[in-house]
Structure 1
Amino acid sequence: MVRKVLDCRGMHCTGPLMATAKQMQKLKPGDLLEVWVDDLASEFDLPAWCREAGHKIISKEIRDDYYCYLIRKKDSRI
């Protein structure tokens, strides 16, 4: 299992979501992606996209001035 970090701080609107989707395509089922975002819209966009795409948010942490999401890529059998 691989764990990657994607720093989307400073991106706005759909930027973090698009970057996350692109990075998830490169990962294998079960791999983890840690996404750092400071755009408030991502608080709604990322969880909604994960539900729709079948990925699972393992944790959401509020750090100094940004959110840290840990997302597991969906299993290919689903």
Structure 2
Amino acid sequence: MSSGAQIDSATSLLTPRNILAAVLVVLTLIFIFQNRSETTIKLFWVSVQSPLWLTLVVILLLGWIAGLLTRRKKPTN
């Protein structure tokens, strides 16, 4: 394989989308490592103990799902 082909394949991996994905992965890992302490969530009679990062991710996903379920559809002409 020539060095020109290696450079082309390396630059094809360094797209803005891939760089943004790598930055988001690094930030996610930092977030997880900094929020590993246990937290207790109480809702009515149920008490759940889990890492703080997992609790926050679950709440984020529930909010995202609620947003999807309540979004308005574009009016059709």
Same fold? TM cut 0.5:
no
Bigger Rg over Cα: 2
Q: Which structure has the highest helix share of the two?
A: 2
Which structure's relative contact order is higher, taking Cα pairs within 8 Å and 6+ residues apart? Answer: 1
TM-score by length of 2: 0.24
